[in-house]
Amino acid sequence: MRFGITVTKKIGNAVVRNRMKRRFRALLREMLPEQGMPGHDHVLIGRDGGVERDFSKLREELGAALGRAKAGKGDPPRKPRK
């Protein structure tokens, strides 16, 4: 299973952005083998306040998001670009 991580410069300086990416990678390595969707790409987008958020809270939120995606309650597929 593949994953992508996006954290924009609005979040903070390079140190803050890299810390958020490291936290995301740790979560994904832990959770994707069990809860991920085979054959799909998983993309996490870093938002403001994510670095200060408790790691266990991030784990719960990612688990809930993966559960919604498996149930088909995620965003609808996008139309192909021309």
Model confidence band, residue 27 (pLDDT cutoffs 50, 70, 90): very high
Domain range spanning residue 63?
A: 2-70
pLDDT, position 73: 81
pTM given for the model: 0.80
Query: Does residue 80 form part of some domain?
Result: no
Q: What is the mean pLDDT of residues 24-28?
A: 93
Query: Does residue 75 form part of some domain?
Result: no
Given a cut of 80, is residue 77 above it in pLDDT?
no
Average pLDDT of the chain, as a whole number: 88
Query: Does residue 44 form part of some domain?
Result: yes
pLDDT, position 22: 94
Count, in order, helices (H) and strands (E) of the chain.
2, 2
